[in-house]
Structure 1
Amino acid sequence: MIAVQILGLALIVAVAWDAAVTVLHPDREGLLATAVRRVVWSATTRLSTRLGTFVFALAGPAMLACTFLGWILLAIVGLALAVWRLLDTDFAVQTPLGTPDFADALYYAAGTITVLGYGDLTPLSTQAQLISVFGAGVGFTMFTGMATYVIEVVGGVATRNRFTLALHDDARGQGGVTMLTDCLAEAGVDETRERCRSWAEHLRAVDEMAHRYPLVAFTYRSRRPEYDPERALRHVAEATVTALVAAEYAPGLRTAAEALCSAQARMQCTVAEIYLGDAVTRRLADPVPSERDRAAVSLVDDSLAAALGVPVSQAEHRRAVDTACRTRIFLEGLHRWSRSDPPQHEWSP
């Protein structure tokens, strides 16, 4: 009996820890939350091939619901195990249940964890009372944390959506290269510098959301294309490469371009560590540019020179080439993970 009680209490503690880590810790995600995220996303990507991409809009809510339900059910089972053998001796039964069994323990645990408590099973001994109060406390705290987490997630998704809408409006149906080139040619260096700083702030917000809410940061999707985070990330990555090249023509843009590049690199590493796996993370940490990446930067250089009406720069653009390489690695990994259409860069032939 003691072993079963210890097992039940240990299960409650494990569930409470998993929930606390997911909801409260800024750098961690619970084991159950991680497992649910991976299983639901894998199922969603498989279903999308049969039912269409609209199922992606259901992935985020399904992850939250399944995670919360998993915590509640495991806490109920844990409390049921803890009180099961006490029902005969340590509880007053006010309804003719007969000999209490495990189903009755589950019934009592469900009422206690959800803080409903019908009163037909009442703990009498100190041990039973302490276990019941502990279970009720865990349940109340868990429900409060889940409600708070949902509110924070909705706010985080709204922040991410503002980023995708901003990039959608800035791109105006074009890519990131045209987006930055037109801004530089039409509005000048000062406006382009402010635009780069704005994009960097958006990327930091996305990075923080992915870091803080890995359960839903890149899995909470909308059916509307302007809210697609992958498209927005492609546009801003192209703009980052273009800004780094443009700094050779407009030195006043260099600081903002490098800050944008740093914000993007950090965001890409965060997303890769959470969603894309060790292989992509390692390649991002040590990129090896190919001729394809160098050709991409050359096309960007030609586009800028033509738009600004100046000779093509003879600079090597090493940082731009490295950034183009990281962008290719990151977006290809993101494409494989989400099974979305292959990324087509504006600089692609």
Structure 2
Amino acid sequence: MNWFLTTGGGLMTCLGVWETFMAVLHPRATVGPITKVINCGFHFLVRTRIFAHPRVLVYCGPALVATQVLCWATLLLLGVSLIVWPQLGTGITATGSIPTDTDFANAVYYAGFTITTLGVGDLVPRTPGMQFLTITAAGLGFSFFTLVLAYVISVYSTLARRNQFANEIEYRTGRTGNSLGYLRAYLTGSDPSLVNQDLYTMSSNMADLLESHHFYSVLHYFRFSEPRYAMSRMLRFCLEVSSMMRAVRQVDASKVAASSEAVDRLWHASLQMLEETKRHFVICNSIHDVPDPRLAIELSRSIGYTDDLSDHLKSAFVDQQSEWLHDLNALAVCIGSEPQEKF
């Protein structure tokens, strides 16, 4: 029985260390099995009728971070407790002549104080093995709290950068979320350096966004009541802009002030972000998969295209749109944002 408890405790401790390691020290959108179950549970929970309210969704991200940390700490605590339990009364005894309580609650008490590195004077390790275990548990506890603190700080600093990018996109559209105004201004402008610089900036921000969500997959679960912070809205703007500029280049290259490299860089960065998000987060389906050429129609009127050129632009834009429309609308369903922007 003692061997079984010790082995089980060792495995549970290793699992807790592994979960923390995968999330904090090896953050590549891959988490341990327990953390993955927690993430999936939250994903399904926030899609239920009770928790799908916007006022509840804003707490999803913080609650998930707290649940993850609590789970890792519980695994570590229970693992050390199971190792300590058989040693109560022999390897670990009470000070003085007080009889040693050998129940599991006392093992949790000793393990908890050791892991939090507070120390406890009424229980003392007597054997070299238990003394080594106590030092090891204290070291694991100190490392755990240090890593968790760094993890939380990193998550929220990265979230701040994502929100800043969302605000920059919002300002580019005149706080409407509509990419038409942005496209109209740049496609009718005469200074290519401005649009090139802006497209390069957005593609760089999108690459940073991709890497940050690779590092911390929990970022997918942070929601805000303001629509401008929705990931689907940010991606929709970048994909619509790059898709439309690629379509205009196919129809009438003279109308595009931006270089093809700048446009393609934003296109590929946004598309990869959507693909990675689908792979690691999106589990929803969307029924809004009908091509939407309204942006091309409105832009054709602004540019002054003939009916023939307008039809070519609509066709070219729909071809570009078909590569991302389904996945983007599925993402919008998962995060509870609008699947289609209105003109």
State whether TM-score is above 0.5: yes
1:241 and 2:243 aligned: yes
1-side partners of 2:78 and 2:233: how far apart? Answer: 43
Shift of the alpha carbon at 1:182? 2.2
1:202 and 2:208 aligned: no
Change (3 A) 1:4 1:118: same
**Is this contact kept in 2: 1:76–1:106, CA < 8 A?**
yes
2-side partners of 1:321 and 1:164: how far apart? Answer: 25
**Is this contact kept in 2: 1:47–1:55, CA < 8 A?**
no
Does the residue aligned with 1:92 lie in a helix, a strand or coil? strand
**Is this contact kept in 1: 2:329–2:339, CA < 8 A?**
yes
Give the helix-richer structure, 1 or 2.
1
Q: What is the match of residue 178 of structure 2? A: 175
Q: What is the match of residue 69 of structure 1? A: 70
More divergent stretch after superposition (20-29 vs 154-163): 20-29
Does the residue aligned with 1:218 lie in a helix, a strand or coil? helix
Give the letter for the 2:160 counterpart: A
The 5-angstrom pairing of residues 141-290 of structure 1 reads: 141-172=143-174, 173-186=176-189, 188-215=191-218, 217-247=219-249, 248=253, 249-250=255-256, 252-277=258-283
Shift of the alpha carbon at 1:91? 1.6
Identity %: 23
**Is this contact kept in 2: 1:203–1:263, CA < 8 A?**
yes
Shift of the alpha carbon at 1:36? 1.7
Change (3 A) 1:221 1:316: closer
Change (3 A) 1:304 1:226: closer
Shift of the alpha carbon at 1:43? 2.2
Change (3 A) 1:277 1:190: same
Change (3 A) 1:144 1:166: same
1:328 and 2:331 aligned: no
Shift of the alpha carbon at 1:341? 4.4
2-side partners of 1:48 and 1:155: how far apart? Answer: 30
**Is this contact kept in 1: 2:235–2:274, CA < 8 A?**
no
**Is this contact kept in 2: 1:175–1:238, CA < 8 A?**
no
Give the letter for the 1:336 counterpart: V
Q: What is the match of residue 16 of structure 1? A: 17
**Structure 2: 5+ residue runs without aligned partners?**
none
2-side partners of 1:97 and 1:221: how far apart? Answer: 53
2-side partners of 1:74 and 1:187: how far apart? Answer: 62
Shift of the alpha carbon at 1:198? 1.8
**Structure 1: 5+ residue runs without aligned partners?**
281-289
1:306 and 2:306 aligned: no
Shift of the alpha carbon at 1:315? 5.6
Shift of the alpha carbon at 1:134? 1.9
1-side partners of 2:62 and 2:183: how far apart? Answer: 35
Q: CA RMSD in A?
A: 2.6
TM-score by length of 2: 0.87
Shift of the alpha carbon at 1:253? 3.0
Shift of the alpha carbon at 1:321? 3.9
Q: What is the match of residue 341 of structure 2? A: 345
**Is this contact kept in 1: 2:246–2:263, CA < 8 A?**
yes
Q: What is the match of residue 88 of structure 2? A: 87
The 5-angstrom pairing of residues 34-45 of structure 1 reads: 34-45=36-47
